[in-house]
Structure 1
Amino acid sequence: MKKTILSTALALTAGFTTTATWAGPCPDTLRFADTGIEGMEEMVRAFGPFGDALGEAVGSEIEFFPVSDRTAAVNALQFDQVDIILAGPSEYAVMRARQDVQMMVGIERAEYGTAFVVHADSDIHSLDDLRGKEVALKDPGSTTGHIVPSWMLVEAGLDLDRDLNTHLLDGARFEALINRDVDAMGSGVRDVARLKERDPEGAYRVIAESDTMPRDIFVARGGLDEACVAHVNEQIMADAESLMDAILGPGERDKYTEARFVNDLTEAEFDMITEAYDLVGLPLD
């Protein structure tokens, strides 16, 4: 059985290098990364079963490419260090602005949007009420935790530099709101339930919610043979259910619970992210 290459270093340490070749339009090895996963250990834990299943389906070994953050993942694709990246809408908007990339299949997620939440006893009832307030966001480049909430604030008529203070707190955003260190949190819709799980005695209220976001997307580097890209797309859709089970199996990608693979993505659906970057004054390139 073909196995995912966990790292070149591991193979060399074991004194083993693969010499097998696989029939099909793709290279013997396809290098894969995810913009939401940092480091090799995390990649192996989250995507090990998926790498094995995808390799079996397409006829290539899947080699994980570790990244330190979202920017590193985008740069890896730009400099041909990786063949395929699973990216969120925000990362894809950056990728297509910087380089020649190929759109592949996507993942349609349930409850994928941004919500602003406050304590139930707060006097904040709308985004406009956030003037002069402290707002916790997620991490730089997060679609639902940074780009879209920033865009929503600007659309509501707020100046991000003068009218309020936003803080990119990543995982600490929950505690910041629970402890009332901030007045509101702008993050993914699913994070509202996570907030209530962390503070079951607390009471919270959503004051604004975005439309559903564009789908996550598999992105191929521009130089990857189009026949290979088409083959990977075809095989993923042909084996969509078991491949999604492989992603969900390790329990590290719960954001894909109730998600499904789709092959009807268009460039136009990501234009809202490009427009959001422009509106909030963040460079894509």
Structure 2
Amino acid sequence: MRVHAALALAAGSALLFTACSSSSAADTADGAGSGDGGGTEVIRFATLPLGDDPNAVTPVDALKDMIEAETGMEVELTDVPSYSAVIEAIRNGHEDIGIMSGFPSALAVSTGEVDSLVAWPGEDEPVSTCLVLDDSPLKSFEDVSSDTVIAFADPASSSGYFMPTHMLHEAGLEADEDYSSLMSGGHDRSFLALQNGQADVACTSTIFPAMAGQGSPLFPFEPGDTRSIGESISMPIAITVLGSTSMSQEKRAALLEAIPKVFSAENADQLGVYAEAIPVGVEPIIEPGDELFQPFVDIAAIADVDISDLE
């Protein structure tokens, strides 16, 4: 499992340098990206694609508008292919911020080159669920065998990899011994793999089954099409906004003030999926200490995944 994580980070890094090279060059030319050139600061926001429809109005667009309104700075979006690529983009100073769930945030913070600007504690509820089609012969984890293919979203995903891996470990199931792993590249792709028979199980976030019957490309099922054969434990941190340690102090101060205002109950409709990830009534933690992420390292150790070993 350590090998999978390391390979994913290396691949993500290679992909992201291509994706971000043009914007980084532009920032260097006019000084906007670093804040040292005297121009208007630009907040560079690394995002993950949320759907396949390029014409759809996604929550990240609304988030961009709200951050711009609160900071008075331009926000530049760059879609990158994976959680690992977001971490590497911020770590290497190509991007300023990104939104992450608990495990990839712990992985990022452990490098000492990425900060958590703002974090929201998790709720005492399951984070992940492992779904099968309703007519599947699999009734519980006891039915999983070496022939079973389990789809995971991304090697750095909390709900789509780390928490399900821990869940399966606690059930006595280890990857490549008791089941086969399929890294799909995204939650929606795990569902497509399940739908098309490429996977027997799709392990994902508990937020997705509620989307059944809504026609969302993120969860292409009707009510009753799928069922859960297992749920994970809760997470100490639900979601964080990660920041580059190399951004200017002006930009950092503006974000620390703006982020709690943007991620508020009043903006829930505009934030969509992002708002669903934040527990209701939970106050954010500004500049949380590294110790808040230690439980993730402990959970990872139980599942034999060393998220702190990142070079």
**For 1:224 and 1:145, how far apart are their aligned partners in 2?**
30
Deviations 1:47-76 (A, max 9, x none): 333223212312322222443433322122
**For 2:177 and 2:143, how far apart are their aligned partners in 1?**
14
Q: Secondary structure at the match of 1:215?
A: strand
Partner of 2:246 in structure 1?
223
Partner of 1:263 in structure 2?
284
How many residues of Structure 1 are paired with residues of Structure 2 in the alignment? 261
Q: Is there any run of 5+ residues in structure 1 with no aligned partner, and where?
A: 1-6
Partner of 1:4 in structure 2?
none
Partner of 1:210 in structure 2?
232
Measure how far apart 1:79 and its partner are.
1.4
Judged with a 3 Å threshold, the aligned counterparts in structure 2 of structure 1 residues 145 and 266 are, in CA distance, closer, same or farther, namely same
Measure how far apart 1:240 and its partner are.
4.2
Measure how far apart 1:242 and its partner are.
7.8
Q: Secondary structure at the match of 1:98?
A: coil
Matches within 5 A, 1:247-262: 247-248=270-271, 253-257=272-276, 259=278, 262=283
Amino acid at match of 1:189: T
**For 2:258 and 2:135, how far apart are their aligned partners in 1?**
51
Q: Secondary structure at the match of 2:228?
A: strand
Match of 2:91 among 48, 53, 78: 78
Measure how far apart 1:277 and its partner are.
3.9
The question of 1:235 aligning with 2:258 is answered yes
TM-score, structure 1 length as denominator?
A: 0.72
Measure how far apart 1:173 and its partner are.
2.7
Matches within 5 A, 1:129-140: 129-132=143-146, 133-140=148-155
Matches within 5 A, 1:92-171: 92-106=105-119, 113-120=127-134, 122-132=136-146, 133-169=148-184, 170=186, 171=188
The question of 1:30 aligning with 2:43 is answered yes
Question: Are the counterparts in 1 of residues 64 and 75 from structure 2 also a CA contact under 8 Å?
Answer: yes
TM-score, structure 2 length as denominator?
A: 0.66
Partner of 2:80 in structure 1?
67
Judged with a 3 Å threshold, the aligned counterparts in structure 2 of structure 1 residues 118 and 31 are, in CA distance, closer, same or farther, namely closer
The question of 1:191 aligning with 2:208 is answered yes
Amino acid at match of 1:190: I
Judged with a 3 Å threshold, the aligned counterparts in structure 2 of structure 1 residues 179 and 219 are, in CA distance, closer, same or farther, namely closer
CA RMSD of aligned residues (A): 3.9
Q: What percentage of residue pairs aligned between the two structures are identical?
A: 21
Farther-moved stretch of structure 1 (56-65 vs 175-184): 175-184
Measure how far apart 1:98 and its partner are.
1.9
Measure how far apart 1:274 and its partner are.
2.6
**For 1:130 and 1:155, how far apart are their aligned partners in 2?**
14
Q: Is there any run of 5+ residues in structure 2 with no aligned partner, and where?
A: 1-20, 215-219
**For 1:42 and 1:262, how far apart are their aligned partners in 2?**
34
**For 2:48 and 2:297, how far apart are their aligned partners in 1?**
18
**For 1:44 and 1:201, how far apart are their aligned partners in 2?**
25
Measure how far apart 1:153 and its partner are.
1.1
Question: Are the counterparts in 2 of residues 104 and 217 from structure 1 also a CA contact under 8 Å?
Answer: yes
Match of 2:101 among 66, 88, 94: 88
**For 1:162 and 1:208, how far apart are their aligned partners in 2?**
19
Determine which structure has more spread, i.e. the larger CA radius of gyration. 1
Amino acid at match of 1:55: E
Judged with a 3 Å threshold, the aligned counterparts in structure 2 of structure 1 residues 236 and 69 are, in CA distance, closer, same or farther, namely closer
Amino acid at match of 1:188: S
Match of 2:71 among 58, 65, 71: 58
Measure how far apart 1:282 and its partner are.
5.4
Q: Secondary structure at the match of 2:154?
A: coil
